[in-house]
Structure 1
Amino acid sequence: MNIGVNDLANPGFFAHNRLPAHSDHLWYANAAEIASGRSSFQVSLDGVWKFSYAKSPSAAFEGFQSPDWDVAEWDDIPVPSHIQLHGYDVPQYVNVQYPWDGHEQINPGQVPTAYNPTGSYVRSFALPEALPAGERLILRLEGVESAVVVWVNGTYIGYAEGSFTPSEFDITGQVHAGVNRLALRVYKWCSGSWLEDQDFYRFSGIFRSVYLRRVPTTHVADLRVGVDVSDDLANAVVTLRTRLEGSGSVRAVLGGVGELTADGDGLLRIAVDEPRLWSSEDPYLYDLTIEVAGPGGEVMEVIPQRVGIRRFGIEDGVLKINGRRLVFKGVNRHEFGEQGRVVTRERTELDLISLKRANVNAIRTSHYPNNSFFYELADEYGFYVIDEVNLESHGVWDAILRDDASKSAVVPGDKPEWRDVVIDRASDMYERDKNHPSIVMWSCGNESYGGENIAAMAAYFRAKDSRPVHYEGIYWDDRRPDTSDVVSRMYAPAAEIESLLAVRRDKPVILCEYAHAMGNSFGGADIYMDLAEREPLFQGGFIWDFADQAIRLTAPGGAEYWGYGGDNGESPHDGDFCGNGIYYADHSESPKIQEVRHLFQGLRADVDRDSFTVKNRLLFTSSAAYECVVTLEREGVEVASATTATDVAPGDSATYPLPLTLPDGVAGTGGEYVVTISFRLRERTAWAEAGRTVAWDQGVFMVAPVEVRPVFAVAGSPSLRPVLVRGRHNIGVRGESFEVLFSGLAGALTSYRYGKTQAGGRELLRAPITPCFWHAPTANERGYGGPYEEGGWHLASRYLRPADNSEWPAAVVEETGTTVTVSFVYALVGMPGSTCEMRYRVFGDGTVEVTEVLERGSSTPSLPELSALIQLPGAMNRLTFYGEGPEETYVDRRGGGRLGVYSSTVAEQMAGYLTPQECGSHTGVRWARITDRRGRGILVSAPADGAIELSALPWTPFEIEDAAHDFELPLTDRTTVRPALMRRGVAGDDSWGARPKPQHMLPDGRLEHRFSFRGVL
C-alpha cells in the first residue's frame, strides 16, 4: 500500500494496521531483570540511522524501503531527534497562526504540497534466530511528528498520526533470522497537523525512542489498576483487571499487603487496612508484582506496577484529595529542552526535582501527552497532573473573536469527519496513562473552541474513568457546558474570578493558565493565591509556563545565544513569545522562581516582636515534620539563632513565643533588626537534602535609640566644611577627600572625585548624572503598547534642557555653614507643563544628598519609573546591597525577597530573559556599595527613615532596549546605577494587554525622590 497526498489530507485516515493502545507497562523475564531495570523482551533502536531529506513528498525517493536500495551515501542522523536541529528544514516558532499560513491557501484537513518536509529513515537490526512459534515482535514508536509510514524488509506495515502517543505495529510476519531492514517515512504535516497548533516550535522527525518488543505466547496485553478508598480513609480496595493473550493465568501480589484474590470475571482484588495514602506531600507507592504463567504453569513474564492509593474527585462541590480541599500550585510544562522536544528521563527528573524545590504541587501537560517516564516520575515525586490530549486548533477558531469568520470554520467543532480522530487521540492517551495515581484530571486538549466532537471526548473519558474532565474551551463556546467538570479559565484577573464566583457556584474554578511569565513578569501573582485562601471554590491554577522554549544558536562573532521565533529565518513566526518560563531555556532558575517558591510554600509565619504565628496550609503534614529555626539579624549580620518546636496541624494556626529577644537599644544595640522564621527539612528526601529551607517569613523591627547609618554621618566641625568654588562655567564643591563639579554648560553634576590622591581624588563618574523616567520595556509593557503610549518619558530621559529655556542653564546655589546645595530644573520634552528638579546637597565628608522632584503636567502618560541615572567606570563591577534579594524584586514581585545583605557582580544582575529588558532591580534597599575589586567606588543610601529601589547593570536602559538578543548588547566600560523612588510593577496577568495593578503604579501628582551617595575607598 502506498500513502499518497490524498491520504495525508484525509482527517478520517489517521491510522492503518496500528495496534490498539494499551497501558504503558513493561514486562520482564524474572525478578532479577526487574532489579536491573533491563528487560530481555525489549531492544532499543535508538542511535544513528541513515537519513534522506526532501522538501516535499513528491521530491522524496520512491522505493527506498527496498532491502536492495543502497543508503550507504545517505546522511547519518541520531534517533531520537528533530530533523530541524540537524541541518534540514528550519525550526519555526509560531503561536496561534499555522506555520503554512500565507504560503499556501489550504482549508482545514488539507496539507501543503509545495513544501511539506519529508524524511526517509533506514535502520537495520539483527535477529539472532527466528522467533519461537507463537511469539510476536512489535515495533513501538514512542513519538513521531507528525505522520509516519512503516516498512520492514520492503513490505508495507502501517501508518500512524498522533505525534505524542505511541504507535505500535506487529512485524512478526515480515522479519527473519539475521539482518532485517526497517524503513520509515516521516511527513512534517498531515491532516492531523490541523489539530496540533500548539504554542511551540514546529519540528518533525522521530523525536522519541524506538523499540522492538518481543511478546511471549502468554502475555498481558493490557492492565487496569483500580483503587477504591472508603469515606473514612481507613480502608481501601485495590483491584487488577488484565487482558490476557494466550492460555495461562495471572497472579498478583501487593507488596507489604498480600496476594490478590479472584473476584469473578477475571478481576483480582485485595483489601488494604489503614492504607498509606498517596499525595503530593507523601507520594507513597505500593509495589504490585504481576506474574504471568503459561498453560503449564511456567512463568512467562513478570510485570512490576506501582500503585498509589488515593481518592480524588469533586466532593461537597470542591476538588478534594483524600478528603481535603486541594489548591493547585501548578505550572504548565511543555516537554522542551536544549534538544527541543527530545527530552530524556534524566532531564525530566531534574525538572521535577526543581519544581518540588519551588513548592510546586501540580503540572498540566500542555498541550499533549508527555513521555511515559514523566508520569512515572510524577507518581514518585508527588505531583497532581492534568493529562492533556494532543489537540489544539487555535489558528482556526480565533478569527471568530474578530467577527470575520463563522463557527462553521471550527475544527474539530461539530464536523463528523473529525470525530473519530478526536476520540482516537483521547483513547491513545487514556489507555497508556490510566494507571498513574499522579493523574487527577483528563483534559480534552487546549484552545480548540467547543462543539460535539470535544463533548464526545469528555463522554469517552467519563465512560472509562471516574477522574474529573477538564476543558477550558467551553468558556468561548458554551453550547456544551457538560464537557468540563470544572470551570476553567485562562488569564482572567483575580477580581474577575471573584466576580464570577459571586454569581456562579455550580463547579470548582481553576485557572488552567495564569500569570503569563514572559520575560520579566510574574507580578501580582500573590493576589490569586490570596483569593484561593478565602474562596473555597477557587482552587488555584497553573502558571504559564515552566521554561523558555528557545534554541541555542551561534552569533556572527561566535558567541552562543538563545534564539527564538525568526532567528532561523523562518516566517511566519511569533518572535520571543516562546520565552514564558519561570526557568530559563537551559532549565536553570530565573529570578521569578524566588517569588514562586515563597508564594507556594505550605507554611506561613506572621512575626511580632515577641511571638510568631504559624499557619499550616499543607493538607496532611504537621509543621512538626520540619525544623523551625529562628534567626535574628542586625542589618544583615546574624546576632542570634535558635530552634523551637512547633506542631501545627494541617489547616490550623498556632502562636509561639520567640525563642530569642530583641535588644533593648542600649550600649550601641539600636538599629534595624530582622527576625526570620525558617522551616527546614529534618531528613533528606528524594528531591532535597536535609536542612533545606522549604518555607520562611520575616518581621522587621526598629530598636531605639536608632544609630544613624554611617553614610549619613556628617560631622559639623569646621574642618569638614565644604569649600564652594564659583567658576565662570562650573561650580565646584570640595573638601579634604573629594571634589564635586557642576557644569553650567551641561546643567548637571558632571564630576565626582573621591580620595586624597591626584587632584581631588579618583574620578567616579563617566557621564553627567541625569533624571531617568524610563527603563528598557519589559515583554509585558511591549504587550500592552507601553512604549507607544509612554515613549515621551524615553525622550524626557535622554534630551533635557533648562526649564527657563536659557542657553546657560541656571544653577541655584545655596551655602550654609556645613553644606552647599546646587539645583537644576529641567523642562521635559513632550510633557507640557512638566519639570524635574535635581537638587544636590554636598556635605563636608563628600556625601551628596540628592533630591529629585518631578512636577507633572495634567496629561502625562503612565510613568515607568522615577530614578537618577549614574554612570560609573566599568571597573566598579561589584555590588553589595542591604535590601530585598538575593534575586531581583519589584513592587508587585517582592514577597520572595528576603531582607539581607547580598553581594554579586554587576554582570550577574543582568537577567537572562530571551530579549534584553528591564531587570535586576531591588526593592527595600537601605544601602548599596558599587566598587571595584579593591573596594573603591560609591556608597548609595536611602534616607534614614526609608528605603529605595536600586539597579546596577553594565548597560544603560537605552542600550538594553536597543538589543534584541544578549549578544547584541554593546561592549561596555561603564556600570549604570539607577537609585529609584519606585519602578512600576512588572505585571503578568497576561502579556498582551494586562497592566500593573493600580497599587503597583507610580502615583499621580508631585513626586519626590531622595537618596545619597558618597565615595568609598
Structure 2
Amino acid sequence: MHVTKPKLSWLEDPTVFAVNRLAAHSDHEFYSAKTGKNSLKQSLNGTWRVHLEPDIASQKLDFIRPDFDFGRFDYIQVPGHLQTQGFDEHKYVNTQYPWDGHEELRPPKLPKKNKIASYIKTFELDHALKDKPVHISFQGVATAFYVWLNGHFIGYSEDSFTPSDFDLTPYLVEGQNHLAVEVFKYSSASWIEDQDFWRLNGIFRDVFLYALPKAHLADIHVTANLASDYETGIFELKATVTGQTTDNFLHARLLDPDKRVVFETKVPLNQMIDLSQELSQVAPWSAELPNLYTLELTLEDKDGAVVEFVPEKVGFRRFEIKDGLMLLNGKRIIFKGVNRHEFDPKLGRAITKEDMLWDIKFMKRHNINAVRTSHYPNQTLWYRLCDEYGIYLIDEANLESHGSWQKLGACEPSWNIPGNLPEWEPTCIDRANSMFERDKNHPSVLIWSLGNESYAGTDIAAMGDYLRHKDPTRVVHYEGVTWNREFDYITDIESRMYAKPHEIEEYLQNEPKKPYISCEYMHAMGNSVGGLELYTKLEKYPHYQGGFIWDYIDQALYQKLGDTTRLAYGGDFNDRPSDYEFCGDGLVFADRTISPKAQEVKHLYADIKIEPDETGVTLTNDGLFTNSADSYFTARVLQDGKVVFEKDYQLIVLPQESKHFDLELPLPKTGEVIYEVQQHLAKDTAWAKAGFEINFGQTVSRYALPEFKAQGTPKVAMGDVNIGISGKNFEVLLSKDKGGLVSLKYSGQEFITRTPQLLFWRPMTDNDRGCGHGFERAMWLGAGKFAKVVDLQVASKEHAVEVSYTYELPLPKQATVQVTYLVDGTGKVNVSAKYPGYPDLPSLPTFGLEFKLPAKYDSMTYYGRGPAENYLDRKLGARLGTFTTTAKDSVASYLVPQETGNHCDVRTLVLTADKELGLKISATKHAFSASLLPYSTMMLEEALHQDELPPMRFAWLRLMAEQMGVGGDDSWGAPVHEAYWLKADKPLELNFTLEPLN
C-alpha cells in the first residue's frame, strides 16, 4: 500500500527500513535506441541547496513546499558528503559507536543530537522523459532519508550503500519541480552500519531520474554458467517486463568477445521472459582472461521499431566448492586480494570514475586479483570495471554491528544485534536482497558475504539461506561464526581474520572440511606488511585459497591548517571519541601515492615465479588459465651492481607448470655477480603499456665485498683532547672527550657536524606501538644516546692508526660495545662497531651508528636493495641493484611519522651535494642496512603528524648492522615474527669504510 504520511517513529523502528521504495533490480543500462545514447535518463547531480538542523526537536518541514524560499539555504554538491563540504564535523571511530560516552544507548534508540540535512533540488523534466512513467534513483544516501516532490511525500529508505528508487510519476508537474530530501544522520540502521570508517553522511552517490518506455525490462537475471566439461556454456535469461507487452517482441542476441553472434532469438513479449541455450566452446571469464560476451536485448513493436534497447556484458564461468576446494572453471583458485574501502581524501566515499580507474589499474599492476568490498556494496561502476579488467569480488552486504558485541577487544554479545532478534531479520534480508538484485549479473562477483563483524545468529543465517536460494551459482561467506561455532553452517568457507600463519597451518593440517581464506590479514597500518611470505607459502596446502590484505587505501582527509593542507586522521578534527590513526591501513596513501609496502605485495602476489641461476632460469606459472606468451623475459647479469649483460627472451611456461630454460649467461671473473630475470608485458593492455614489468627474480651467484687494506703512512697529532690523523688532502679528528669522530675533512670539505651516535632504537612503527614494543624494549631507546666512554685505546698499525672506544650502555646489566676507527695514509677510515651479545635482555630494534651530516648531502646513490624501502621481513620484493634517492624522497608519508627509508643488504653508498666532493661508504665483511633522511630517529619518534616535522636542516645517515622486521600480522598485539628479531644474545657487527668520492 502506498503510504502518504511520513512518521519520525520510523527512524527508531528496525522493522521500518523502506516505505514506498520500489523493488530492487539489476543495474543494467537501457536506451531508447541502439545508438547507446541514453535519452531516458536525467542526472540530478550537481549543485543542490541544503540546510542543517542540529536535532529532531528543531525539525522544520516548510522546505518541502514548492513555494518555499530557499534563498537562505547553502549550496552543496551532490554526490558528496556533508562533512567534506563543511556542514558537519568529521568523526572517525572503529568498533565503538560514535555516541559512546556521550549518551547511554541501547538499540534501536538514537542520540538526541541527530542532525538533519534538508536538501532541495529544482528541475525541469527533460523532453525525452515527458509523458512517461518517471522514477528517481538515489544510489547512496547515509543514513536514512525521506523524499518529497512538490509537497507530496514520496518515500523513505535506509541502507546507505544500495540504490533506493521511487515512483515520481503522479506528482510531476510541467515546468519547475521541487524535490525535497530530508537526511538524518542516525537511525536504527546506524546500529548495523558500525564499520571501521569515517562516519560520513549525506547524498554521496549519484541521483538520477529515469523514464520507462511503453515496454520496459525492469529486471534481468543472466546466468552464464559452464557445464561440467568447463567448455559448454549454459546461458539463461530471466527477465521481468513492465508496461505494454501485447504485440511487442523481445529480440535477443548474444555476441562473443569477437562480436560474432552465437545465439539469437525473437519471442513474443510477456511479463516474464525465460530463455536458455547451450553454447559449445565458449571463452570462459576469469581475472586472467576476462572474456566478456555482449547480450543485446531489444524490445520491438509489431512494426519492428525499437521500444527499448539493453546491452549487458556477460561472462561465462563456473564457481563451485568441490571436495572442499573452491574451483573456478575447474581449477583451484588462490585469492591474492585486498579489502577496499571507497575513499578519496577530498571527497570521502563519494569517489569518482577516475579514482576507480586508478585503483583497478594499480591492482592489476601489482598482481592483485581479488577485492572484498569492505564492508558494503560499492558503486555499481566498480563491478563493471572488475568485469572488464578482471578482478574477483567478494561482494559484502552492508551489515556491521561490531560495537554491539565486542568491547575493548573482548567478546561480550549480551546485547548483540541482529543476533537472534526477529525484529532485525527483515532489514538484514533486505540488505542481502538489495545487494544480490543489483549485482547478480556481474561475473566478477564470485562470493556473497553476509556482512562483517556482527557476531552470529539466526538473522544472519537467514541471510545466507536467502542468498543460497536466490543464487546457487555462488557461495556464501561469513567470518563472524568464528566467535560462535554453533552457527558454523552459515558460511561455506572457513574464513578468519588476522589468524597467524601457524594457526592457519594447524587448520590446514587437520583434515579441513572447508576451503580456507583470510578475509582480512596483513594489517597494513603504517610501516607494515612484514612477513607476507609466511602466508603466501601456505599456498602449498590445497585448502589454503588466499587472503585479503587489510586494506587498500588510507582513510585520511585533507585538513587545512593556516596556509597549509595536511592529511588528517581521527581526532584531528577534535572528534571524540576517536580511534585516531587506526584509519591509516592502506597499501596506498589517501592521496593515491603508492606506499613502499606495495613493492612486496606485487612480488609475492605474482603468478609467475622466477628463479634465475648460472645456467638459465626456472619459471613456475601459478596462473590457472594463461601461459606466458603475452610476456617477454629480460635476463641481466650485474657485476658489483652494474649491468654487464642484458638480453630479451620469449619463454613459454604453461599454467600450473614449472620449467627450466637454459640461457647462455656470462659469469664475470671478478666482483659480486647477480643473475636477474624480469617479466614484462609484450603488448599494451588496458592497465599498462608494453614493457611494463610484472615480476622479477634474482640470484646472487658470487658474493664479494672489498677488503680494507691500509695504504700510505698518516701523520698523527696526539692532542690533549683530540687525536688528529692527517695526510694529503684529508684530516680526521677523533675526540677523547666526545667519544668518537668529530671531524672528517677531504680537500678542506667537512662532512661531520656531530660525533656519530650509537643507535639501538628505530622510530616506533604503528605495529611496534600496538604490540607493546616500547614497554618491552624501552631500555634500548636511550642506550646509544646516553652511552659513556669507559675506555680509549690508540694503536699504531701498518699504514694506519687505530683508535678504539669502549662504551658502557645504560642498561640494567653491565654491557659494553666497541667502536673502532682505523685511518690509513690515504684518508680512508675503516669503522667497526661491535655488539658482543648479552643474554637476558630484550631483542634489539637495531644496532649501528647515526650520522648528522650537513643538509647539502641530501642525495644518496647506493648498491643494495631497492628501489622502495625494505626490511628484514619485507625485502623479497626489493631487488639488488644501484639506485639513487634523496633524503626527502626516502620518507614514506605514513600518517604518523615512524621508521622509514631503510634499505637492506647495502654494499656501497655515495652521498653527494651539488658540484661538491662526495662521500663513499663501502661495506666490509658483510653488507649493512642504511637510510638517509631529513630527520633524526628521535624527531620521527616524537612527531604525531608529518607536518610537525621541521624543515630539513641536516641529513641524517643511519648505518646499521641490521634492523628488526616491521611485522604485519596485526597492529594491536602481534609482535614481529621471531625469525626477524635481533636477539640480544647474538653478536652484531657493523663494518664500513669512509673515503672521498673522486
- Compute the TM-score of the two structures, normalised by the length of structure 1: 0.94
Q: Aligned to 2:327, what secondary structure does the other structure show?
A: strand
What is the alpha-carbon distance in structure 1 between the residues aligned to residue 743 and residue 537 of structure 2?
Answer: 49
Task: Render the CA deviation track for 1:372-409: whole Å, top value 9, x for unaligned.
Answer: 00000000000110000000111110039636x4x341
Q: Which residue of 2 aligns with 1:750?
A: 742
- What is the Cα deviation at residue 261 of structure 1? 6.6
In the TM superposition, 1:950-969 aligns within 5 A as: 950-969=930-949
The whole-number CA distance in structure 2 between the counterparts of 1:870 and 1:831 is 27
2:729 aligns to what?
A: 737
Q: 1:271 aligns with which of 278, 289, 299?
A: 278
CA contact (8 A) 1:119 1:205 kept: yes
Task: Check conservation: 2:319, 2:327, Cα contact below 8 A.
Answer: yes
Instruction: State how far apart, in whole Å, the 2-side matches of 1:952 and 1:777 are.
Output: 17
Is 1:96–2:113 an aligned residue pair?
A: no
Say whether residues 1:694 and 2:694 are aligned partners.
yes
* 2:826 is the counterpart of 1:823: no
Whether 1:564 aligns to 2:572 is no
Which residue identity is paired with 1:51? V
Return the alpha-carbon distance in structure 2 between the equivalents of residues 273 and 130 of structure 1: 42
Q: Which amino acid aligns with 1:754?
A: Y
**Residue 177 of structure 2 corresponds to residue 180 of structure 1:** yes
Distance in 2 separating the partners of 1:261 and 1:310: 26
Q: Matched residues in 2 for 1:254 and 1:129: separation? A: 32
The 1:702–1:104 alpha-carbon spacing in structure 2 relative to 1, beyond 3 Å, is same
Q: Cα 1:634–1:856, aligned 2, differ >3 Å: closer, same or farther?
A: closer
1:654 and 2:634 are equivalent in the alignment: no
Matched, 1:326 2:333: yes
Is the contact made by 1:834 and 1:854 (CA closer than 8 Å) also made in structure 2?
Answer: no
1:692-742, Cα deviation, whole Å (9 max, x unpaired): 111210122228xx6x74xx56463xxx21122111111111121211112
Root-mean-square deviation (Å): 1.7
Q: State the 1:298 CA deviation.
A: 3.6
Kindly indicate whether the alpha-carbon contact (under 8 Å) linking 2:760 and 2:846 is maintained by their aligned counterparts in 1. Answer: yes
Amino acid in the other structure paired with 2:510: V
**In the alignment, is the contact (CA less than 8 A) between 1:606 and 1:612 conserved in 2?**
yes
Write out aligned runs for 1:672-751 (5 A).
672-702=672-702, 709=706, 714=709, 716=711, 720-751=712-743
* Comparing 836-845 and 382-391, the one that deviates more: 836-845
Find the aligned partners of 1:696 and 1:285 in 2 and give their Cα distance: 30
What is residue 24 of structure 1 aligned with on the other side? 27
SS of alignment partner, residue 486 of structure 2: coil
Q: Is the 8 A contact 1:630 1:659 kept in 2?
A: no
Q: Are the counterparts in 2 of residues 836 and 855 from structure 1 also a CA contact under 8 Å?
A: yes
Cα separation, partners in 2 of 1:3 and 1:772, compared to 1, 3 Å: farther
Q: Percent identity?
A: 40
Structure 1 831/739 Cα, relative in aligned 2: closer, same or farther at 3 Å? farther
1:128 offset after TM fit, Å? 5.7
Question: Given the alignment, which residue of 586, 589, 609 partners 1:584?
Answer: 589
Find the partner of 1:792 among 779, 785, 803. 779
Which of 303, 311, 320 aligns to 1:313? It is: 320
Distance 1:372 1:243 in 2: 20
8 Å contact 2:886–2:932 — kept in the other structure?
no
How far the C-alpha of 1:855 sits from its partner, in A, is 3.9
Equivalent position of 2:308 in the other structure: 301
Q: Is 1:219 aligned to residue 206 of structure 2?
A: no
**CA deviation vs aligned residue, 1:676-697 (integer Å, no higher than 9, x gap):** 1112111111111011111210
Cα distance in structure 2, aligned partners of 1:617 and 1:538: 14
Is contact 1:470–1:485 with CA below 8 Å preserved after alignment?
A: yes
What do the CA deviations read for 1:206-242 (whole angstroms, capped 9, x no partner)?
Answer: 0001001111221111000012312122211211110
Aligned to 1:777: 764
713 and 812 in structure 1: CA distance in 2 versus 1, 3 angstrom threshold: closer
Q: Residue 177 of structure 1 aligns to which amino acid in structure 2? A: E
Q: Please name the residue that 2:950 is paired with.
A: 970
The residue identity in structure 2 corresponding to 1:119 is A
Distance 1:286 1:935, change over 3 A: farther
Confirm or deny that 1:535 pairs with 2:541.
Answer: yes
Q: Superposed, which structure 2 residues align to 1:68-83 within 5 Å?
A: 68-83=67-82
Q: Which runs of 5+ in 1 are unaligned?
A: 756-760, 804-809
Given candidates 521, 530, 534, the residue that maps to 2:528 is 521
Would you say the 8 A contact 2:838–2:984 is kept in 1? no
Cα distance change, pair 715–958 in 1 and its aligned pair in 2 (3 A): closer
1:605 aligns with 2:610: yes
Answering whether residue 288 of structure 2 is matched by residue 288 of structure 1, we say: no
| Alpha-carbon distance change, 839 to 260 in structure 1, aligned in 2, over 3 angstroms | farther
Choose from 443, 450, 462 the match for 1:444. Answer: 450
1: CA distance, partners of 2:779 / 2:211: 70
The 3-state SS of whatever aligns with 1:624 is coil
- What's 2:434 paired with? 428
Partners of 1:47 and 1:505 lie apart in 2 by 53
Give the alignment partner of residue 171 of structure 1, picking from 162, 168, 172.
Answer: 168
What are the within-5 Å matches in structure 2 for residues 119-158 of structure 1?
119-127=117-125, 135-158=132-155
Name the SS of the counterpart of 1:594 in structure 2: helix
Match of 2:418 in 1: 412
Q: Indicate whether 1:459 and 2:451 are aligned.
A: no
CA distance in 2, matches of 1:235, 1:992: 49
Amino acid at match of 1:385: L
Paired residue for 1:341, among 346, 349, 352?
A: 349
User: Within 5 A, what are the aligned runs for 1:191-210?
Assistant: 191-210=188-207
1:550–1:563: 8 Å Cα contact kept in structure 2? Answer: yes
Instruction: Give the superposition deviation at 1:647.
Output: 2.0
Secondary structure, counterpart of 2:904 in structure 1: strand
> Conserved in 2, the CA contact under 8 Å of 1:281 and 1:620?
yes
- Alpha-carbon distance in 2 for matches of 1:902, 1:1007: 26
Name the SS for the 1:350 alignment partner: helix
Task: Output the amino acid matched with 1:29.
Answer: S
Gaps of 5+ in 2: none
CA distance 1:353–1:129, change in 2 (3 Å): closer
1:494-541 CA-to-partner distances (Å, cap 9, x unmatched) read: 111011122241100000000000000000001111111x10000000
State the Cα distance separating 1:24 from its structure 2 match: 0.4
C-alpha distance in 2 between matches for 1:974 and 1:1015: 19
Which residue in the other structure is 1:14 paired with?
17
Task: Return the offset for 1:297.
Answer: 5.2
Counterpart AA for 2:32: A
Offset, 1:421: 0.4
Give the corresponding residue for 1:758: none
Q: Distance in 2 between matches of 1:295 and 1:429?
A: 36
Give the conservation status (yes or no) of the 8 Å contact 2:93–2:197: yes
1:622 aligns with 2:603: no
Aligned residues: 982
- Contact 1:732–1:741 (8 Å) recurs in 2: yes
1:469 to 464, 476, 489: 476
Matched AA of 1:286: Y
> Using the alignment, how far apart are the partners of 2:5 and 2:526 within structure 1?
47
* Deviation of the 1:434 alpha carbon: 0.2
Q: TM-score, normalised by structure 2?
A: 0.96
- 1:835 Cα deviation from its structure 2 partner: 1.5
Quote the offset at 1:130 in angstroms. Answer: 10
- Tell me if the contact between 1:872 and 1:976 (Cα under 8 Å) persists in the aligned partners: yes
Q: Residues 374-413 of structure 1 correspond to what in structure 2 (within 5 A)? A: 374-399=382-407, 402=410, 405=412, 407-413=413-419
Q: Is the 8 A contact 1:247 1:294 kept in 2?
A: no
**Matching residue of 2:84:** 85
Contact 2:808 2:815 in 1 (8 A): yes
Give the 5 Å matches for 1:904-923: 904-923=885-904
Residue 130 to residue 300, structure 1, CA distance change in 2 (3 Å)? closer
What CA distance in whole angstroms lies between the structure 2 residues aligned with 1:946 and 1:559? 44
- Tell me the amino acid that sits aligned with residue 765 of structure 1: I
